[in-house]
Structures are given as structure tokens and as C-alpha cells.
Amino acid sequence: MRAIIMCGGKGTRIAAMEASVPKPMIRLCGKPVLEHQLEWLKRQGIEEAVLVTGHLGHVIRDYFGDGSGILADSGEASGIRLRYFEESEPLGTAGALYYFREDQTEDFLLMNGDLIVDVDLHRFLDAHRRYGGLATILTHPNSHPYDSGIVETDGHGLVTGWLSKEDERGWYQNRVNAGLHLMSPGIFDELRERGMFLQPRKLDLDRDVLKPMIPGRRLFAYDSPEYVKDMGTPERYRLVEQDMNEGRVGARNLSKPQKAVFLDRDGTINEFRGLIRKTEDLVLLPGVGAAIRRLNESGYLVIVVTNQPVIARGEVTPEELRMIHNRMETLLGRQGAYVDAIYYCPHHPHSGYAGEIAELKKDCDCRKPKPGMLLAAADDYHIDLKESWMVGDSSRDIEAGRAAGCRSAGVGGCTGGDMTCADLTEFTDRLLGTEGSKQ
């Protein structure tokens, strides 16, 4: 598979740090950002990359040449074939694709040149081929969704909407485009049909190429908690450099075991108000946003696992539950926090409710205190359950964690776990060592 890397941007926001080189050549931990990318691609089995250059492109060509000097993990030169396409005039983030329309016959990776990435590309490619669309974008949560474009999906990968920064929005799922795109060669036929490839022209990848695929159900999203961050501003540069120095970049690759904090919802994240049936009834508990933000920064995945019998009882539809969860994600995002995934059990074993959904009235394996949701998440995200925690305010949470092989912590008066805390703030303090390790 080939990678096409867009390296032509001027990087005006970060130019003050090193104005004499293009943005992908700014050094991070001793190497140009682009060199980190090429080493990652080589580790993932990519043997050829096309570098689309523009501003100061000769600096890139002079440094990398044909790519034979790219190092393997062993420190020996292993090489990756490099080709160059130099834009004589700026073609935007997708215009250069015009020049690959005839010779690109296989799936390919299109990525931005200012990213630090460590993603299991094999998982990403498997998802792309399973979806069967023309393009699959990698999405992830971030700590500032309120000023980011938001990608909306149907919960099964199909992209159903895309909110730009300036669009009016209500409650939304915290998922943004990370800047990695897997594309099928059929995308060139799609662009020809839209009259995009009659001649070279400036194109915006999001606005002109990807968003118009949504009505035709040809755009999908692969959601991943793996490390993808741009270093396009001095502040982001410093954060990425810190993450690299502390080993967080490689640790998030899903080929490696992850550790997670599983959180119950009602009474742990939001105020307990019985069964929540209305979006406005979800109110975050004090301190929860700050606690989850610290867990995000620590390297733990944060995954919500919640029983939602209101679905089986016919009191809330799946779409209404999604809006409740979107409110939770929006409120957390305003505090710089996010959850990596939400799992819910829609079942209920008891009958007799008006409007109940018969096929959901059963004794399942996912309803806590059974561990099904935790086990599903562990499979999806390669989680080492022995290094993970289940946190909740009821004995069902403690039992589910124990059954899954996790350690467990009770909050809000719940006892019986490996740790008993007043709330999520105290749990986070103790887990991360700010108040010692005694239990």
C-alpha cells in the first residue's frame, strides 16, 4: 500500500519556531516531524510514500533523497521508497490527487504532513475494507471539541453528518477527523463524476471531497483512541514533544495492551436521578470533568459502561439515549475532558412494562453485574483487564469489575471494592498517586 503525505503547507502559525524549513521538517525530539512519520509507516509495512511538496520543498528532497536512509527500529537503514510531486502552485489539501488518478489502483493512505502518529494501520485498513466505502477517516475525541469540526456517525461507522467549526450545534458526540484517511481507488471515479478532475484545481479535502460523499453513504469513520496529534502551533508542539519524551505516543498503539478506567454513568459521572429519560436531566457531578481530564492525560482509556433498561422498557429510544450521551460528551468537552467509548446494555430481564420491546426483554451477558460490556471493550481496544479499574456507585459495578478481572473502586458510599472513595475526584487522586497509594 502507498502513502501520500501532504507536505506543502507553509505552517504560518508555527513558522516563528523555524521559518527556514517547511512545517513537516521542524525538528521534534531531534528529528523532523516527517521523519517520525516515515519511520512509523515503515514499521506498519508501507514500502512507498509520495511526498507532495510546495513551500521550500527542496529542503525535504535534499534531506530524504530516495528514502533509503530511513532507519528501522534496530537503528539500521531499512529504507522506504520515496517519490515526490511538487506543486507549482498551491492546490489545497486535495488538488494534487488529480495527478494520481491514473496510476493509483489500490487502497492508499492520505495524511497530513504535520502529524505525529502511532496507529495500528492494520486495524484501520481492516475496518476500511469491512465498511466497503470509498473513504474511511480516522476519528478520535479531543480536549477542545467546542472549536473543532465534529464528525457524526450512525454508531456503526457510517458518517451521517459533519459540523464545521462555524456551524450551529446542539449536543454532539466528541469525535473529530484526525487527519488520516484510507481511500479506495474508486474515489477517482467519484471525483470524475462530480466534474472535479477535468483539470488540475485547488481542492479542500474535507469540503470538496469528503463531505459530498455523506448523502451517498460512501464515507465511513474508524474511531480509535490511538495517538494522532498535529504540531501546528507552538503550544501543540510542546505538548507533543512532552508526550514523546514520556513514551505516550507509542504506548497508545492498539497493537500494545492498553489500560482503562471503566466508569458507571449514573451516580458516578452524573447526578443520580433514577432512570434518565430526558436529555436535560443529565447533570454532571462536581469535579467529574477535571477528574476525567486527568485520566485522559495519564494514558488511561476512559470507557463508560452503563445499564440502560429504559431501552427494553420502551421508555427511551436508542436515538434519544444517544442524545443523552451527546449531552454528557459536550459538557465534558467544555471542561477539556472526553470519554474514549460508551457501551450500554439495552436489555431488561423483567416483563410487564407498557411499550416494552419484546426482543430486548431477556437475561443477557452484558447487563451488570455480568462483565459483558467490559469484555467487549477489552476485545475492541486490546485492554489488559488486570491493569484496569471499574469505578461505580453500586455493588453491580464492583461485581462486574471483579468478574472481568479488573480492580474495582466504589464511590458515593459503595463499598466492597479494592478501593472506596467519596467520588471520582478522590479515586483519580489516589490512582494517580497525588495522595499516596494507600487504600
Q: What is the pLDDT of residue 72?
A: 53
Q: What is the mean pLDDT of residues 323-331?
A: 98
Same-domain pairing of 188 and 307:
no
Asked, for residue 437, whether it belongs to a domain, the answer is: no
Cβ-Cβ contacts under 8 Å for 42 (sequence gap 6 or more): 70, 72, 78, 79, 80
For residue 386, what are the domain limits?
Answer: 257-431
Same-domain pairing of 224 and 301:
no
Please provide the average confidence, as pLDDT, over all residues in the chain: 93
Same-domain pairing of 208 and 164:
yes
Query: What CATH number does residue 399 fall under?
Result: 3.40.50.1000
Q: What is the pLDDT of residue 438?
A: 39
Same-domain pairing of 54 and 164:
yes
Last residue of a domain, one of 236, 270, 292: 236
pLDDT digit string, tens, across residues 262-293: 999 999 999 999 999 999 999 999 999 999 99
Cβ neighbours, 10 Å, residue 99: 16
Grid cell 506498519 is found at 44
Asked, for residue 327, whether it belongs to a domain, the answer is: yes
pLDDT digit string, tens, across residues 66-80: 988 775 555 555 679
Q: What is the pLDDT of residue 302?
A: 98
Peptide bond into 24 cis (omega under 30): no
Query: What CATH number does residue 182 fall under?
Result: 3.90.550.10
Sheet containing 135-140: give its strands across: 81-86, 48-53, 2-6, 108-112, 176-183, 135-140, 219-223
Between CA 374 and CA 382, with CA 376 as vertex, the angle to 5 degrees is: 90
% of the chain beyond a pLDDT of 90? 85
The C-alpha cell of 337 is what?
A: 475532558
Asked, for residue 247, whether it belongs to a domain, the answer is: no
Measured distance CA(29)–CA(35) in Å, rounded: 11
Asked, for residue 251, whether it belongs to a domain, the answer is: no
Q: What is the pLDDT of residue 13?
A: 53
Q: How confident is the model at residue 435 (pLDDT cuts 50, 70, 90)?
A: very low
Q: How confident is the model at residue 29 (pLDDT cuts 50, 70, 90)?
A: very high
Q: What is the pLDDT of residue 436?
A: 43
Q: What is the pLDDT of residue 79?
A: 75
Is it the case that residue 232 has pLDDT exceeding 80? no
Q: What is the pLDDT of residue 154?
A: 93
Q: Which residues are catalytic?
A: 264, 266
The C-alpha cell of 392 is what?
A: 461505580
Asked, for residue 180, whether it belongs to a domain, the answer is: yes
Asked, for residue 245, whether it belongs to a domain, the answer is: no
Last residue of a domain, one of 205, 236, 267: 236
Same-domain pairing of 101 and 72:
yes
Same-domain pairing of 218 and 352:
no
Q: What is the pLDDT of residue 233?
A: 83
Domain count, the chain: 2
